[in-house]
Amino acid sequence: MSRAHNPFRPGMVLAVLAIGVLAFLLMLYALGQGWDGSDDRNGGSHAAANGLNGFAGLATMLEDTGYDVEISRSRGSYDTYGLLVLTPPMFGDGEDLAEIIIDRRENDYGPTMVILPKWTAFPIPAQLDVEAEEGWVFLTNARSPAWFEGLEFAEGSELELGETKGWNGIGMSGTLPEAESVQALTTQPNEELRAHVLDSEGHLLVGDLPDSYDPADYDYAPYPTTIVFEPDLMNNYGLADEDRARLAFLLIENATEGDVNMPIVFDLTLPGLGASENLLTLAFSPPFLAATLCLLLAALVIAWRGFRRFGPPVAEVPAMAQGKRQLARNGASLVERVKRFHLLADPYAALMSRRIGDALGIREPHPEARATAIDSALERRGIEGPGFTQRANELRGASRPRDILRAAGALKSIERTLKR
């Protein structure tokens, strides 16, 4: 056994491993946070959009006034405590929205606010000579979402667009930025909603779903579900007016029932900006926590064993030796395995004929003539015993391994005698 030189320093290996682990953790965090290179300022009607129809201003205003505001890309926020603000798109899924509302009301996760869409918006083209920031939009036509009629609480109601002189509610009044295109609930559903804001014609602009609970079964009323039918009361377009901004803040305050410590979550999954579950968070949550701890423990043991090893690794001995001697041994082992000793007699006799002839200075190429010349040369030198030809013939005539080895040894003895 020999020790090979270690080409890597332990400090360098540790640095490479640390960088790899940090890069992997950063990748998991990026997956959970939705860092896919896309821009949230895409002209949509959601809390990350800064266009007229977006709600980034509302989120910023609430955060600046002391609320704990979160922009969520995960559907896991649907069943967490806090005020959930849903901003479904114009061409969204009404059934999905209805399931979220029902689940939160039945499980009492917290208040819910749904702001219905109204505007069709397009990004401002770059070729127009307009000083516009990224995410600003043109508002074109207004229309009500087609999926509203499929909501359970909307049965028997009618959502329309029309003209109004203003709004009033919560002890305040004011005007809307587009008085000719106001979206309101003109016909109440079978179970009337509790009104918060009405237009000048008495149509509902903001209201709460009725409390469907039995006071005998509960000691408290469930959290409210607020429906904002006119988005211009709370979007960036509407918050340009101080009265409407104050109204938006009061609507949030009513929904949270005055609890300033209640977190407010703006959902981005319904507008199509959701992200996969944070793998880093899932890894440390049951039932994956046990597997994560086992992997971490195994990694620590492997790292400890790797860095505690004394000196460079021991180089293993080659499985097969190299060189002429080993080649001859391998050939002999092959002959022994296949039991073909008789095949060695004639080649060995020819080999010894050449070697003994060279030792005696005989250059005769013909085998029989060379054997006769070797016998004559041995006789002249006075070497007693059987001659070369007799011993070679005994080797060629042997059949058993023992006889072959004895005859080969006798032939070899002639060469040893000449070398003395």
Confidence of residue 263 (pLDDT cuts 50, 70, 90): very high
The answer to whether residue 31 sits within a structural domain is: no
Q: Establish whether the linkage from the previous residue to 313 is cis, with ω within 30° of 0.
A: no
Q: How many CB atoms lie within 10 A of CB 292?
A: 14
* Arithmetic mean of pLDDT, 341-367: 82
Higher pLDDT, 50 or 29: 50
> Residue 392: which domain range?
325-419
Mean pLDDT (the chain, rounded): 82
pLDDT tens sequence across 33-65: 556 555 566 668 888 888 888 999 999 999 999
Residues 226 and 114 in one domain: yes
Higher pLDDT, 270 or 417: 270
pLDDT tens sequence across 391-400: 888 888 887 8
At 37 the pLDDT is 53
Yes or no: say if 161 and 142 are a contact pair by the CB < 8 Å rule.
yes
Record the pTM. Answer: 0.61
At 1 the pLDDT is 47
Higher pLDDT, 1 or 310: 310
Residues 101 and 199 in one domain: yes
DSSP string, 131-176: ---TT-EEEEEE---GGGGGSGGGTT-EEEEE--S-EEETTEEE--
pLDDT of 367 > 50? The answer is yes
Residues 336 and 245 in one domain: no
At 93 the pLDDT is 87
The answer to whether residue 173 sits within a structural domain is: yes
pLDDT of 5 > 60? The answer is no
| Strand intervals (E) in 209-347 | 225-228, 264-267, 314-315
pLDDT of 216 > 70? The answer is no
pLDDT tens sequence across 152-173: 888 888 899 999 999 999 999 9
Residues 263 and 367 in one domain: no
CA distance 383 to 175: 137
* Arithmetic mean of pLDDT, 244-253: 95
At 214 the pLDDT is 47
* Arithmetic mean of pLDDT, 9-20: 79
At 251 the pLDDT is 96
* Arithmetic mean of pLDDT, 286-296: 83
The answer to whether residue 319 sits within a structural domain is: no
Yes or no: say if 146 and 116 are a contact pair by the CB < 8 Å rule.
no
Residues 179 and 95 in one domain: yes
Lowest mean pLDDT among 18-22, 207-211, 216-220: 216-220
Yes or no: say if 174 and 243 are a contact pair by the CB < 8 Å rule.
yes
Residues 247 and 346 in one domain: no
Residues 44 and 147 in one domain: yes
> Residue 209 gets which letter from DSSP?
P
Yes or no: say if 195 and 169 are a contact pair by the CB < 8 Å rule.
yes
Residues 258 and 109 in one domain: yes
At 170 the pLDDT is 93
The answer to whether residue 407 sits within a structural domain is: yes
Yes or no: say if 185 and 151 are a contact pair by the CB < 8 Å rule.
no
* Arithmetic mean of pLDDT, 307-315: 63
Confidence of residue 312 (pLDDT cuts 50, 70, 90): low
Last residue of a domain, one of 258, 274, 290: 274
Name 400's Cβ contacts closer than 8 Å, sequence gap at least 6.
none
Confidence of residue 123 (pLDDT cuts 50, 70, 90): confident
Last residue of a domain, one of 248, 274, 300: 274
What percent of the chain is predicted at pLDDT more than 70? 84
At 213 the pLDDT is 47
Instruction: Tell me the H-state helices in 218-323.
Output: 242-255, 279-283, 288-308
Residues 348 and 228 in one domain: no
At 68 the pLDDT is 94
The answer to whether residue 1 sits within a structural domain is: no
Q: Which two tokens stand for residue 196?
A: 């918060």
Q: Domain count of the chain?
A: 2
The answer to whether residue 368 sits within a structural domain is: yes
The answer to whether residue 298 sits within a structural domain is: no
At 310 the pLDDT is 57
* Arithmetic mean of pLDDT, 230-240: 94
* Arithmetic mean of pLDDT, 369-375: 83
At 416 the pLDDT is 81
Buried b / exposed e over 409-419, threshold 16 CB at 10 Å, is ebbeebeeeee
Residues 262 and 331 in one domain: no
